[in-house]
Amino acid sequence: MKKKWVLKSLFWIVLFTIAASFATLLLVSYQEYTSPKNVYGSWIEIGTPSYSTEVLTLNSNGVFRNNRLVSTQFEYDGDKIVINTGSGVTIYQLAGTTNSPQLKRIEPVMPLQRFIKQGYESTVENDENGDPSKNRRSALSEHFAQP
């Protein structure tokens, strides 16, 4: 009888330990996923001419647009970045891949704006005017051109 009780107790202790370890692992993973450090750095606007390219910098001091402070804080939930400024709320969404991290502005909707993290600029092709869509258009027209 005592041996049965010891085995049951041991089973529940092991089960509780595994459950607690799994819960801790989930919590740590979620906190790491939503950490603002994942988006820290400079983000360079793509699809614009080089003379009017905007650089968005996110760090622990706040948000800088073209080296000018626009907000002292931002919110990051693992998917979206929310920036409150005197001009209103701007929301960016993570896009791209791990090999080409990008931000897409979703609020305000116009004008369209996309950024790529500094250091990954070579993963996006631009034409001489900075517009990647022209490369796609010319590639399509060449593909469907009649010989």
Q: Do 60 and 51 form a contact (C-beta atoms < 8 A)?
A: no
Pick left, alpha or beta for residue 72 (phi over 0 → left; psi -120 to 50 → alpha; otherwise beta).
alpha
What tokens were used for 31? 């906190």
Give the angle 61-86-57 at the CA atoms, nearest 5°. 35
Q: Does domain 37-124 have CATH number 2.40.30?
A: no
Q: What is the pLDDT of residue 74?
A: 93
Q: What is the pLDDT of residue 40?
A: 92
pLDDT > 70: percent of the chain: 84
Q: What is the pLDDT of residue 142?
A: 66
Q: Is the pLDDT of residue 122 over 80?
A: yes
- Average pLDDT for 13-33: 87
Q: Is the pLDDT of residue 144 over 90?
A: no
Q: Please tell me the distance from the alpha carbon of residue 102 to that of residue 100, in angstroms, as a whole number.
A: 6
Least confident segment among 16-25, 35-44, 87-96, 112-121: 35-44
Q: What is the pLDDT of residue 4?
A: 86
Extents of the domains making up the chain: 1-33, 37-124
More confident residue, 33 or 132: 33
CB-based burial label for 92 (10 Å; 0-12, 13-18, 19+): buried
Least confident segment among 7-21, 44-58, 69-83, 115-129: 115-129
pLDDT > 90: percent of the chain: 44
**What predicted TM-score, i.e. pTM, was given to this entire model?**
0.66
Dihedral over alpha carbons 15, 19, 20, 23 (to 10 degrees): 180
